[in-house]
Structures are given as C-alpha cells and as structure tokens.
C-alpha cells in the first residue's frame, strides 16, 4: 500500500486529536529532515575525498538532491504549523566534527566511498519506509515523500551500479 492509498484514518486510534496527529506529522517530518542531513553529510564527505573525477559530479548531484529534499521537508514542517527542530538530532554536531577531522587525512579510495554512500542510501530508504508506514500524511506531503523515496531508491541503484563497475577495475 502506498502513501497515497492508505485509508484516511487518525493515527493512534479512536480519540486521537487532530492536534496530536499534527504533532506526529511534524515530528516525523523532522526525522526525515535528519535522514537527509545524514545523506548530505555522507555525500559531501565523499565529494571532498574522492580523487576520481568521474565520481565527483555523481556525489555532488546526490548531495544537492539531499539538500533539496531537506529544504522541501522543512517547508512542509512550516506549512503544518511546526518548527524545524535539530534538537532531536545530536549526530549533526558530531558528524560535522568527524568530517572536519577526516579532512586532515588522505582521500579514501573510491570503492570505500561508494560503499559508505550505498550503506547510507539503504539506511535512508529504511527510515523513510518505517516513518511512512506508521503515519498518514496530508496528500501534498505524501506525494512529496513518495517522490523522495523513489529518488533515493534510484540514487541507491546508481551507487550500487557504480560500486559494481568500480569493483571490476580494482
């Protein structure tokens, strides 16, 4: 069942107020924002570390995609009357610190970067599906999330293909 075909029912059962449902929607949108922060950090790191000139634009494209998804989700949070919250995302500070520390070391091989990006995409897809399985989103938001899931799955397939291709030349 897709996001757009779920029954129109209140989350949490009978008696769940409209306000409580809105809070859950906002909370879950903030969780999806965190997923895209993770994606953007992974791709930025790969973009900065890769020596292979052919891979750099791929990493840059997916980095830009994750930023775009994040900004779209932030706008959805505001549309729902919520506040974008990074307070529930302490990994952001540590990830930035880790990226800064990593910049002191030599670049990693392309296969290692591709594997890290592949893993991040798998985790992103799992998070999106877990979050969307437990909540009915407003139609426009559901369409946007569905588009994002499909795009992340496509990015994952591309990274897997590049990993397989890269493996042939190692």
85 band by pLDDT with thresholds 50, 70 and 90: confident
Handedness of CA 143, 149, 150, 151 (dihedral sign): positive
Kindly state whether residue 73 falls inside one of the protein's structural domains.
Answer: yes
Complete DSSP assignment for 93-137: HHHHHHHHHHTTSPPPPHHHHHHHHHHHHHHHHHHHHHHHHT-PP
Model pLDDT, residue 94: 61
Kindly state whether residue 59 falls inside one of the protein's structural domains.
Answer: yes
User: Can you give the pTM of this predicted structure?
Assistant: 0.79
Model pLDDT, residue 96: 58
| Whether pLDDT at 70 is above 70 | yes
Kindly state whether residue 149 falls inside one of the protein's structural domains.
Answer: yes
Kindly state whether residue 77 falls inside one of the protein's structural domains.
Answer: yes
Kindly state whether residue 116 falls inside one of the protein's structural domains.
Answer: yes
Model pLDDT, residue 19: 85
C-alpha to C-alpha distance for 99 and 59, rounded to whole angstroms: 15
| Whether pLDDT at 97 is above 90 | no
| Whether pLDDT at 118 is above 60 | yes
CATH number for the domain harbouring residue 97: 1.20.1260.10
Per the structure, how many domains does the chain have?
A: 1
pLDDT in tens, 99-109: 566 656 555 68
Model pLDDT, residue 9: 36
| Whether pLDDT at 73 is above 70 | yes
Kindly state whether residue 13 falls inside one of the protein's structural domains.
Answer: no
68 band by pLDDT with thresholds 50, 70 and 90: very high
For residues 142-149, average pLDDT: 95
| Whether pLDDT at 32 is above 90 | yes
* pLDDT winner (highest mean) among 10-19, 93-102, 142-151: 142-151
Kindly state whether residue 11 falls inside one of the protein's structural domains.
Answer: no
Residue 156: domain span: 18-168
């Amino acid at each position: 069942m897709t996001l757009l075909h779920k029954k129109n029912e209140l989350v949490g059962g009978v008696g769940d107020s409209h306000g409580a449902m809105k809070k859950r929607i906002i909370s879950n949108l903030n969780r999806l924002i965190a997923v895209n922060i993770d994606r953007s950090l992974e791709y930025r790191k790969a973009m900065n570390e890769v020596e292979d000139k052919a891979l750099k634009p791929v990493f840059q494209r997916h980095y830009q995609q994750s930023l775009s998804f994040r900004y779209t989700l932030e706008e959805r949070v505001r549309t729902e009357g919520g506040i974008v919250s990074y307070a529930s995302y302490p990994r952001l500070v540590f990830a930035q610190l880790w990226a800064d520390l990593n910049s002191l070391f030599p670049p990693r091989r392309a296969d290692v970067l591709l594997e890290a990006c592949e893993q991040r995409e798998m985790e992103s897809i799992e998070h999106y599906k877990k979050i969307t399985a437990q909540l009915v989103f407003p139609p426009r938001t559901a369409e946007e999330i569905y588009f994002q899931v499909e795009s992340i799955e496509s990015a994952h397939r591309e990274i897997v293909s590049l990993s397989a291709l890269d493996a042939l030349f190692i």
